[in-house]
């Protein structure tokens, strides 16, 4: 996917990835979707956004998660680590 819609500008939101031409972060869009907002609702509430902007946010978030390295340090006696905290 071409991420032309996603930029990083140190002068906007402390350099978080944002949708180009806005102050809306990738994090914010992913959070809305995680809270159950539909793409249609986001587009209605933020009518200056396009469906491609939302898809670019998801692609960006997916790429960040793919490149992240996680090292779990389970508590003594625990069978696994709980990441829900």
DSSP code string of 19-60: ETTSS-BHHHHHHHHHTT--HHHHHHHTTT--HHHHHHHHHH
| 85 residues of the chain, pLDDT tens digit each | 556 789 999 999 999 999 999 999 999 999 999 999 999 999 999 999 999 999 999 999 999 889 888 888 877 655 555 555 5
User: The pTM is what?
Assistant: 0.76
């Amino acid at each position: 996917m071409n991420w032309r819609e996603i930029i990083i500008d140190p002068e906007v939101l402390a350099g978080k990835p944002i949708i180009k031409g806005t102050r809306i972060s990738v994090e914010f869009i992913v959070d809305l979707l995680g809270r159950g907002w539909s793409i249609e609702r986001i587009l209605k509430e933020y009518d200056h956004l396009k469906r491609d902007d939302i898809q670019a946010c998801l692609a960006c978030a997916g790429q960040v998660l793919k490149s992240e390295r996680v090292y779990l340090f389970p508590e003594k006696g625990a069978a696994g680590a709980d990441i829900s905290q």
